[in-house]
Amino acid sequence: MKISFLIHNAYGIGGTITTTFNLAGALTERHDVEVVSVLRHREHPNLTPHPDVRLRALVDLRREKDHPLHRRPARVFPSAEYRHHQYSELTDQRIAEYLEGTDADVVIGTRPGLNVHLALQAPQRVVRVGQEHLTLDNHSPALRTALRRAYRRLDVLTTVTEADAGAYRRKMRLPGVRVEALPNSVPDPVLPAADGSAKIVIAAGRLVPVKRYDLIVEAFSQVVAEYPDWQLRIYGKGEEQDRLRAQIETLGLWNNVFLMGSASPMEAEWVKGSIGATASDFEPFGMTIVEAMRCGLPVVSTDCPYGPGEIIKDGEDGRLVPVGDSRAFGAALLELIRDDERRRRMGTAAVEHARRFAPGPVVAQAERLFEEAVAARNSGRRGGPGRAGTSHALISRGHAARDLAHAAASGALRTVRKGRR
């Protein structure tokens, strides 16, 4: 097959880029694969794709950021999409040209706005696969309304969790569209796994409010009170850095909690720890949880929507605690710190259980999905087996009406506010 990925900006850093490069690279073994980046702002990508993946860009911001069409707001890319402000008539035009001219068998969109382009503009012969790396419930009513109209024209819609796939099937009426969970994959680790002996807890990710590093720091004061020789290392950079630093000072944790800055690759850092920690309020998948587990760390995580609960088996290879509860989080950390034997056992289980997120099984699933969709399209059907049926029509209609009402109300509110300015 000839497979083309359409991505916002392949030259930056982020989970979607990592997972797209991982999947694209693995697919090159049997297929012809390209990654098409709508935007480009630098010569070399931050993350290096597999050498057999062809990478090209549609709009080069280094030369074209002042293009007259780039100053006019996008019309095809939905206005309710998170990144609408970065899209324009120029991106509308270039994406349309790319889709019209593509000779790919399968085109894969990697965010809602690009999935809309794909749904509306891809030629008949092309299989349209939309990928959702966020979750339906987190989208605004206006965006949900826009997606509800467009996504009917996709062949396949993939989410990163079963829970989110369930939400799409329940709340959107997408007849003929195959909706399936396709988790992110994490490459096989190179280093021997952690042995559980180090007195270090590790957290990693962008330092942004939704990740709730403050909760981990707060919880860690319980740990230090009982085990002053344990440390917490937080890897990453971001807007929360100063606030976390101040919190560490206020709680008197400067001998135990460290803001390590960003590290790449993280693998060599994970293996220095014995427990991983994530405390997000919201986590569509939870790539770092899988990374830590593949390195032999049991992970203590909040049971937030949706990723952690589908990755961690509570009590077997990690712990799930209620969202926003630092006492519970600290207690779960202490459970694993007190019991060396249990921690080691759970670390071993983590390695075994997280193998299902290895590129092998995930790529095989993606390949099967794409092949069946191609076969279905060639035979005049769409999607293939397991399509969203019509039995949920009534329920999804209710959700559609509610989203429309919300979207209309917030649209009206915006108009009123604009009028006042």
Partner 1 sequence: MSTAPTTEVRTDCSADTDGRITFRLRLPSADRPRLLLVLRPKKGRPEEQSYTLDLETCGEHGHVRAVLEPRPALAEGRWDAYLLRAPDAARERLRPGLRDLRPLVDGGTRAWTSPVTVRVPYATKDGFLALRAWRRTAHVEAGPVDIADGAMTVRARLHGAELAEDAAVRLRLRGGGGTERSYRPHPAGGGAFSFTVDCGELAAAAAGSRVWDAFLRPAADAPPVRIGRLFDDVADRKGVYVYPRVTVGGAAVRPYYTVDNDLAVEVTAAG
Contact residues for partner 1, defined by CB under 8 A: 190-191, 198-200, 228, 245, 249, 254-255, 258-261, 265, 267-268, 271-272
In the complex with partner 1, the residue whose CB is nearer, 191 or 401, is: 191
Q: How far is the CB of 198 from partner 1 (least distance, A)?
A: 6
Q: How far is the CB of 53 from partner 1 (least distance, A)?
A: 16
In the complex with partner 1, the residue whose CB is nearer, 170 or 199, is: 199
CA distance 405 to 296: 48
Residue whose pair of structure tokens reads 């050498």 in the numeric block: 51
Q: How far is the CB of 371 from partner 1 (least distance, A)?
A: 31
Q: How far is the CB of 416 from partner 1 (least distance, A)?
A: 48
Q: Could you tell me how far CA 382 lies from the centroid of its own chain? A: 26
Tokens of 173: 């009426």
In the complex with partner 1, the residue whose CB is nearer, 246 or 375, is: 246
In the complex with partner 1, the residue whose CB is nearer, 94 or 343, is: 343
The angle at the Cα of 128, spanning 125 to 134, to the nearest 5 degrees, equals 170
In the complex with partner 1, the residue whose CB is nearer, 80 or 234, is: 234
Q: How far is the CB of 254 from partner 1 (least distance, A)?
A: 5
What phi and psi values does residue 138 have, to the nearest 5 degrees? -85, -15
Cα–Cα distances in Å, from 18 out to 14, 46, 110, 265? 6, 10, 12, 12
Check if the beta carbon of residue 35 is closer than 8 Å to that of residue 49. Answer: yes
Q: How far is the CB of 37 from partner 1 (least distance, A)?
A: 21
**In 3D, which of 366, 378, 306, 333 has the Cα closest to residue 162?**
306
Q: How far is the CB of 263 from partner 1 (least distance, A)?
A: 9
In the complex with partner 1, the residue whose CB is nearer, 214 or 267, is: 267
Check if the beta carbon of residue 278 is closer than 8 Å to that of residue 308. Answer: yes
The angle at the Cα of 110, spanning 106 to 113, to the nearest 5 degrees, equals 110
CA distance 39 to 83: 12
Helices (H), 45-156: 61-64, 89-101, 112-121, 141-150
**In 3D, which of 120, 180, 155 has the Cα closest to residue 378?**
155
In the complex with partner 1, the residue whose CB is nearer, 230 or 329, is: 230
In the complex with partner 1, the residue whose CB is nearer, 72 or 272, is: 272
Q: How far is the CB of 97 from partner 1 (least distance, A)?
A: 33
Cα–Cα distances in Å, from 223 out to 201, 214, 338? 10, 15, 10
Q: How far is the CB of 210 from partner 1 (least distance, A)?
A: 24
- Name the β-bridge partners of 200: 231
Q: Which amino acid is at 10?
A: A
CA distance 251 to 247: 6
In the complex with partner 1, the residue whose CB is nearer, 69 or 198, is: 198
